[in-house]
Amino acid sequence: MIDVDDLIALVRNYNPRTNEELIRKAYAYGQRMHEGQFRRSGEPYFTHPVAVAAILTEMQLDDSTIVTALLHDTIEDTKSTFSEISRRFSPEVAELVDGVTKLTNLQLSSSETKQAENFRKLFMAMSKDLRVILVKLADRLHNMRTIKSMPHEKQVQKARETMDIFAPLAGRMGMQWMREELEDLAFRVLNPEARNSIIRRFISLQKESGDVIQKITNDIRTELDKQGIVADVFGRAKKPYSIWRKMQEKEQSFSRLSDIYGFRIITRDDHDCYRVLGAIHQRWRAVPGRFKDYISQPKSNGYRSIHTTVSGRDGKRVEVQIRTREMNDVAEAGVAAHWSYRDGIRVENPFAVDPAKWLASLTERFDSAEDHDEFLEHVKLEMYSDQVFCFTPKGEVVKLPRGATPLDYAYAIHTRIGHSCVGAKVDGIRVPLWTRLKNGQSVEIITAEGQRPQATWLDIVVTGRAKAAIRKSLREEDRERFIKLGKELARVAFEHIGKRATEKALTTAARQLSLGTSEDLLARLGSAELTAREVVETLYPELATIDDTIDEKRAVVGLSPDQTFKRAMCCQPVPGERIVGIGYRGQGVVIHAIDCAALAEFEDQTNRWVDLQWHSGKHPASNTVSLDLTISNDAGVLGRICTLIGEQKANISDLQFIDRKPDFYRVIVDVELSDIEHLHTVMLALEADSDVASISRHRDLGRKP
């Protein structure tokens, strides 16, 4: 455990004017309050608050925050009280400790509705003083570093909560180093096999190509010396989870993933940043579409830097970040840079964002959410989003999260523009509304009177503002249609358990779910904002564990009694995915995944589109999905892959060899699955196998229903 003198020395390194007596007093008080308490590892409990305080010294935070770290568990776990801390230390410290205590008591990984309400409380606590969440993040970081002593079930729960909530929050606050470490620590618990596989491949790569980082660093320094530019150059390999995420996003194997190294160049001023960029692009070929200038267009958390990716030594892609030292301080500390000290005084970093303004920008759209789920969705979208910058035809900048579409852009301009959108032009070229926008593109929205939002738009947009506006419009415009569909869903669900969906039953369920009337409940059912299972379990919780396997013939809701359906072979939709039906005269309805490319040919035939959704409940493992696998050509590999699929309770219905090479096979495997979660489980298990070079979902537009 770090003793009090060492802790004070850590603070004095950046703040020589620190109140040494205050820290000694807090250290002694915390140690006395936690006396006799031990962690699961057997260590004295007070080692934890001290470690949290040490983490906060790395962010160069003020004395009040360090003292709060030392005392952050006293109100919750000892006989200490708010009034005593206020009297012994200060009202400021007492408020901070109380704020951390309230955050600790929030069960952020609980059910969705409660989770949403707890998120509201979290942001309320943050709005009072953002240092509360800085202490909580440091607390979570130390707990994740020492998580091995906890029971496995608790490790998984905390790791999932860290991955879903605390790591994205750290990233949104600009503390990228903390986000990366939290993600990697959680990844170690949630998928140790995949993490170890990436580390093994890294070691193998280093043996083959030597110290690539040092070589490329020397190459960059040589180019800068030629241009007479004074700058520091740092290189590193990306974290295992960062690489894993790229593998998932790009659907590539490790061997095909190129930009696994990152380099940072720290300059003296803005002018040198652009000189460095010129030198880098003159020496190496820039990768198209991988340039971002966050100096001219800063992120909302104050982050400024130039990002570019180039083909470096031996054709390896490397990501280069270029920034000044002041920009780097903000990039390292994020919003915490507002409190940072240097040489004993608070640093007035011109790039540090005002925490109050940052929090206002994060929460300004949450107030429009009409219910818990919408609020939670807004929070997660805002926390996970990276930004792209697009231009209006007049040259004004519109900020959107990564993955945003022209529809998101339209709603960002004005709700009326979004509602009446019928098309879009990007850089002067007409594009589908589901096109993903990129940095620097100019977007023009085409509108028409009488146009109204469509249900399929919910799967096209990604911003909380657009989703909320579309849902509100759909509820108003299509309320009767949703009520009718909701009645059918309720009738089937209640009949399945031998009950009747009477008006009284529905009214009681609506009251339990905090909805106004039975019609409100049915409208939510019909618009897929509520599942029939949730309604049934609200009234009959004892039936929550009954077997509710869905009959294949009743798998889809939204068809008329005389209509039949079949899955499109081009996209092979499975339960859990958003779907749409295309009607064929005399042939029933063919179901497509909402993102199926084949739907483009029906874009002008909206009369053939049928709003559908899967029945809630368990579906039998009878939905065939084709997987495209590239595997090692070694003895026993194919047999092991087949066994692995079987272990995930999936059946192989067909297998075709597409390409045979001396070292690899490429095969298409048809697997029978129950739903999208089952598919993800199978693909994750296969991806983690060291002999699987790549895996993707095989989709063939040439295959007819």
Band of pLDDT at residue 185, cut at 50, 70 and 90: very high
Residue 47 has pLDDT above 90, yes or no: yes
The span from the CA of 370 to the CA of 588, in Å, is: 38
Band of pLDDT at residue 210, cut at 50, 70 and 90: low
Q: What per-residue confidence (pLDDT) applies to 549? A: 67
Band of pLDDT at residue 254, cut at 50, 70 and 90: low
Most confident of 202-211, 525-534, 663-672: 663-672
Q: What per-residue confidence (pLDDT) applies to 344? A: 47
The span from the CA of 34 to the CA of 31, in Å, is: 5
Q: What is the pLDDT of residues 129-177, one digit of tens each?
A: 778 888 989 999 999 999 988 888 889 888 988 887 788 778 777 788 8
Q: Supply the DSSP string of 643-701, one letter for each residue.
A: HHHHHTT-EEEEEEEEEE-SSEEEEEEEEEESSHHHHHHHHHHHHTSTTEEEEEE---T
Q: What per-residue confidence (pLDDT) applies to 654? A: 82
* Angle ∠(183,679,579) on CA atoms, nearest 5: 105
Residue 107 has pLDDT above 70, yes or no: no
Three-state secondary-structure class, residue 462:
coil
**Active-site residue list:** 76-77
User: How many Cα atoms sit within 13 Å of 221 on the Cβ side?
Assistant: 10
Strand 565-567 with 588-593, pairing: parallel
Q: What per-residue confidence (pLDDT) applies to 343? A: 47
Q: What per-residue confidence (pLDDT) applies to 112? A: 46
The span from the CA of 385 to the CA of 377, in Å, is: 12
Question: Distances in Å between the alpha carbon of 370 and those of 367, 376, 377, 454, 508?
Answer: 8, 11, 12, 20, 21
Q: What per-residue confidence (pLDDT) applies to 24? A: 93
Residues in the chain: 705
Q: Measuring CA to CA, which residue among 128, 64, 67, 69 is closest to residue 92?
A: 64
Which of 301-315, 331-345, 483-497, 663-677 is least confident? 331-345
Band of pLDDT at residue 428, cut at 50, 70 and 90: confident
Cα(first)–Cα(last) distance of the chain, in Å?
A: 66
Band of pLDDT at residue 490, cut at 50, 70 and 90: confident
| Residue 509 near residue 519 (C-beta atoms within 8 A) | no
Residue 366 has pLDDT above 60, yes or no: no
All domains in the chain, ordered by first residue: 4-190 (1.10.3210.10), 193-346 (3.30.460.10), 360-476 (3.10.20.30), 623-697 (3.30.70.260)
- Whole-number percent of the chain with pLDDT over 90: 18
**Higher pLDDT pick, 181 / 109:** 181
Band of pLDDT at residue 252, cut at 50, 70 and 90: low
Backbone angles phi, psi at 39, to 5 degrees: -85, 170
| Residue 96 structure tokens | 């901070």
| Residue 381 near residue 464 (C-beta atoms within 8 A) | yes
